Each structure stands twice: as structure tokens, then as C-alpha cells.
Structure 1
Amino acid sequence: MYHTWMRYFTPSPVHHRLGLVCLGVGLQHGTLPTVGPRTLDHHVAVVVSAGSGWYLGADGRRTTVTAPALLWLTPGTPHHYGADPGTGWDEAFVDFTGPATTTYTELGYIEPDRPVVPLSDAAPARAAIGRIARAARPGNPLLEVETGAAVHELLVALRRARADTNADGDPVLAALARDAFQPLSVAEHAARHGMTAAELRTAVRRAAGCSPKDYLLTVRLGRAKELLAATELPVAAVARRVGYDDPAYFSRLFTRRVGTAPIRFREQQGRSVHGGWSTTVPDPEHPPTILPRSV
């Protein structure tokens, strides 16, 4: 005995140009029929939030699936899976496609080589899928954009919920961010963690989807933007604050990555940011509000 609800969508070519579109959503539970063997031309994320079952990949290996878990069904990959006939399982699935999937794969959010992913918690992913299901109401004029945006949210939720991810963030990334402004090479950063440079590159690539050098550059340029926008420090002083002794090199690097020179960036922010800056991070539970004027 099982229960199932599903909806399928056909986004227009214009919506496909957004980069990511939702093709369908479903909620099912019970002793569901076996799926496959089959091969799809798009991506599907199957979130199993209760129960157990199995997955059989193209290599012929059978993997036990125990909730909470994620099944990645990727284009061109033969697959075959099903819920345990004795216990069944509770699943939610989302079909999606678009050119953005290539980038999400490169960043490690989608893992074609890891079709069964243990999760620490399925609730955030189920919440994102619930938003897609609610958007599927008849006559919703925002259907394609709303569901596409929720797929982005789903991919982030699944990345955060991987059982091998620390809920407080990756300690290696936190340490790199802390030491980013020091004049250290990648090998020296690695040595601080008792790692080889190759091990650090693997860890950062898995956690952030980029090399240690790119991650450090992102942290440095983010801080440089804050200093340029919120202070009157000369560019040379900003460069030193973020770890560059050569201001000319910093300016070339900033211009190449940001697309505008540091001085120009400061001018743009000076014209567009009103009300001043605060160094206090707002509490999400009590965000800043605009108080009414007294009469």
C-alpha cells in the first residue's frame, strides 16, 4: 500500500535561460513500486526522510539506503532503486535541469559519482520541496520562476545537510578565513593543519568547490570591498590590510576579479550606500527596522 502525489511542469525557453528550472515534484510514502532500471536526460533529487530501501547503479553494486538520505539521479546514468517491501519509505523528489547544473556539479553540490548520500537532517530539504509543491497550485502565474528559485534553495539545503558536513561550518575553511590576511603560502597554510598541500586542496575543493588560492582570494577581496566602501583608507593601506604589500599588484588583481578598479569601486559605493555603516552584525531574529518619525 502506498500514497503518491506529483506534478510535472514544462517551462518555456525563456525560463530555461534563468539557468535552472523545475520539471516536476512529488511526495510519496509507503511500499512504493520499484523504479527502473531506467536512464534519464535530466537531474532528480530523491530525498528519503523515513524508512529504508536499496539503490543499484550502473556498476551493478547494490547499496542500502537508510533515511535520512539523498539519491542523486543524474542524466545518462542508469539506475534502479526501491523501498524495502517490508517497511517502505517516505520520499520527496524534484526533477530539474538547466545549464546551472554544470556549475553546481563543479562546486560539489551535485555529486554524479556519489548517488547515495547520507544526510544529517532531511527537514530543510523537505521544506524547500514543500515550497515547490505549494507553488504548483493551479493558475500560479509565478510557477516557473518560483519553483526554479526553490531548486536553488534545495541544492543549498542538501549540501548543508550532508552527514559529512559540520553544522557549524567546515573547520578548515574557518581557519583559512581567519588566517587569510597573513602572508602565507598554500603549503604553509596546509602545514598549520598538519596536512600536505595536496590534502588541503582536496579538502577545500570538497568543502567550497574551489582551490585554496581562490578561496583565500575571495576572503581577501571581500574584506577589501568592505574597507573601500566603509573607510577612507588609501588603496595602499587597504591592500596591506588584506595581505598585499604591493598596492599595484593588489589593484590589478582587484580589477581583474571584480571588474572595476578599487578607486572606481569606492566611488560607486559612495554614491549608492546611504545611512552610514555599522560593524555590528544584525541579529536575524531582530533585524534593523526603520522607526516612524515622531510627530
Structure 2
Amino acid sequence: MDEPTAADDLGSIPEGFAGQRMLVVPRQVVDEALRHPVTGKLLVTDAGWFPHAARHGRERAHGAREHLMLLCTGGNGWCRTEEGQVTVTPGGAVLLPADRPHAYGAASDDPWTLWWFHFTGADAADLMQAARTAAGGPITHLRDPAPVASLVSQVIDALDAGPTTAGLTRASGAAWNALAQVIANGRRAPGPSLSPLERAVEHLRSTAPQRTSVSALASMVGLSTSQLTALFRRHLGVSPLRYQTQLRMGRARELLDGTTLPVSAVARAVGYDDPMYFSRQFTQFHGTSPTTYRARPSSP
């Protein structure tokens, strides 16, 4: 779990990178989770997103304790292993086995945006080996990195909910899926990929009601925040944040129409911790309160 430490870095910025997200599972929790029948097979111990990570780098003479996957979605960097040094460009997925020496860092002129996670467990070595075999080495280039970045974002969200068995299990599932997509990449037949807007919308729909920042969403699909916002406004008529609110409110209507859940439970189900704030948002969005909406006469 040494991703955040400064002892082995190559001039990294101690306070991190503007807008970054980074989660580290406490060692005691890791030890307990490795004894669990599910998370013991694949467990994420650290995960993060470093946007425009100037001067970021790590050098580990003896490798990391866990296996590590890095995904570059913008800028450039490099990675050095026993097999040599390679340049990492957008779409590059780097696969670093545990306990093997390596070093990596951001390019000085165009620093990378990096999604990453450490993983361990009974099946971790087999997954790493399968990914490296499919890649033909320590790095593979994904034709469309957005789905994998979306899954790493889901890993981060799951860990951010707290080091519970449920959260760790969700993180494990998303990590397994991310690695499976990297493995399949080397065998995937070429074909048209989704547009950046379609990939962004797909991520938001699959992760709702969890809110994703515009900067994180833009980095997943290889655009600037202004470019992504312009695409949303041009094709969907709303900003990315407004689109997320639409998804939340649509789900709220479904729950109000199709369940007897209290309004407070509906609020929590669509991502609002404060029921009063949810009610104000719902009223502003629909012109009526959740209670009044539910009490309206049903269609014949």
C-alpha cells in the first residue's frame, strides 16, 4: 500500500494534485478482508485518480507489496521494468506485478492523468499474469480506455463509502471487471468505438446516483472540461451536472411511483443524504414536492 508514500517517489508533490482522489484501505482492514471468502480472492488496497500529475513518479527497487494497474487517459509518462523502459501515452495500461522492481513517472512537458489501483488476493497473481500475457508485456494500449477508467472510478467510489465488506466487495467487482477488459483488449476485433459524449453518458448512467465531477468525467474520455461541457450542451441541451441531476430525478420519480418508500428513503436511494435538500431539488426540478407528486391522481 505504498502508492501515497513519499519515501520512494521521484520528486512527487507532497500535497498531491489539484482535484485528485486517493483512497487507502487501513492495513488491519486489509488483513481481515483477505480472510473473507469473497474479498480474499481479489482485494483492492489503494486506488486513485491523479489529474495532470506534474512531477509525479515512483521508484521501487523491490517492487510494491501488491499488484498495480495504471491507466493513462491524458498527457504522457514513462515506465521502466526489468523488460526495459516504455513511453506511456493516452490509452496506455501499465501492469506491474507485486515484488518486481519498477519505476514510472509523468512526462515533464505534458504530465499524464492517471487512474490506478493496487490489488492483492488469492486470484490476483493469475489475473495479473493473464493481463500481461494478453498485452505481451508490461503495457498494453486500449483502443477505448474510457470504460476501464469508469470502472476504476467505481473502485474509488466504493472505497470512498467506507472500508465495509459491502464496499470492499463492490471495489473488488469493479477491479475484476477492469482487469478483464484489459485482458480482452488484446483479443478484441477492431470496430467503431463510442464517441466521447456516448462514453461519458454511459458512465453516468451506469454509476447513477453516484455523482462524478466534470473534471473526472472529462479525463475518462480524453477531453477538457470545457470541451465535454460544450458537447453536453450542444447535443443534450444541458451541462454534465444538470444531466446527472436529471438521472437522479428520473430515478426518484420511479421510486415515488412504484414503491411505498418514505421520501427520506427515496432521497438516500438517489444519492441525497439530506431529505430536505432533496425535496427542494425535486420541487425546483418538477414544480411540485415529492409528497404532492406521489399524491397526485393516477391515470385511468
> What is the TM-score normalised by the length of structure 2?
0.50
Which of 160, 168, 171 is residue 147 of structure 1 equivalent to? Answer: 171
Alignment of 1:216-227 (within 5 A): none
Residue-by-residue CA offset, 1:165-219 (whole Å, 9 max, x unaligned) = 3256xxxxxxxxxxxxxxxxxxxxxxxxxxxxxxxxxxxxxxxxxxxxxxxxxxx
- The yes-or-no answer on 1:54 pairing with 2:75 is no
2:41 alignment partner in structure 1: 19
Q: 1: distance between equivalents of 2:169 and 2:160?
A: 14
* Partner Cα distance (1:15, 1:151) in 2: 17
Corresponding residue SS for 2:131: coil
Larger mean Cα displacement after TM superposition, 7-16 or 34-43: 7-16
| Deviation for aligned residue 1:49 | 0.8
Work out which of the residue numbers 127, 137, 150 in structure 2 matches 1:114: 137
Equivalent residue for 1:130, pick from 153, 161, 164: 153
Residues in 2 aligned to 1:140 and 1:102: alpha-carbon distance in whole angstroms: 23
SS of aligned partner of 1:114: coil
The letter for the 1-side match of 2:59 is G
Residue 138 of structure 1: how far off its partner (Å): 4.1
- How many residues in Structure 1 have an aligned counterpart in Structure 2? 165
The Cα of 1:152 is off from its aligned counterpart by 1.1
| Identical amino acids, percent of aligned pairs | 18
Query: How far did 1:105 drift?
Result: 4.5
2:51 maps to which residue? 29
1:102 matched residue in structure 2: 125
Using the alignment, how far apart are the partners of 2:188 and 2:103 within structure 1? 27
Q: Is the 8 A contact 2:132 2:139 kept in 1?
A: no
**Corresponding residue number in structure 1 for 2:24:** 8
Q: Give the Cα separation in 1 of the matches to 2:50 and 2:37.
A: 27
Q: How far apart, in 2, do the equivalents of 1:36 and 1:25 lie?
A: 18
1:55 Cα shift? 1.3
Distance 1:148 1:114 in 2: 24
Counterpart AA for 1:149: G
Counterpart position of 1:157: 181
Match of 1:80 among 103, 110, 119: 103
Name which of structure 1's ranges 91-100 and 141-150 shifts more when overlaid on structure 2.
Answer: 141-150
Aligned partners of 1:83, 1:105: CA distance in 2, in Å?
A: 23
Gaps of at least 5 residues in structure 1 are: 169-295
Q: CA RMSD in A?
A: 2.4
Residue-by-residue CA offset, 1:45-74 (whole Å, 9 max, x unaligned): 001011111111124x32111111011111
Cα distance in 2 for residues equivalent to 1:41 and 1:139: 22
Offset, 1:154:
1.0
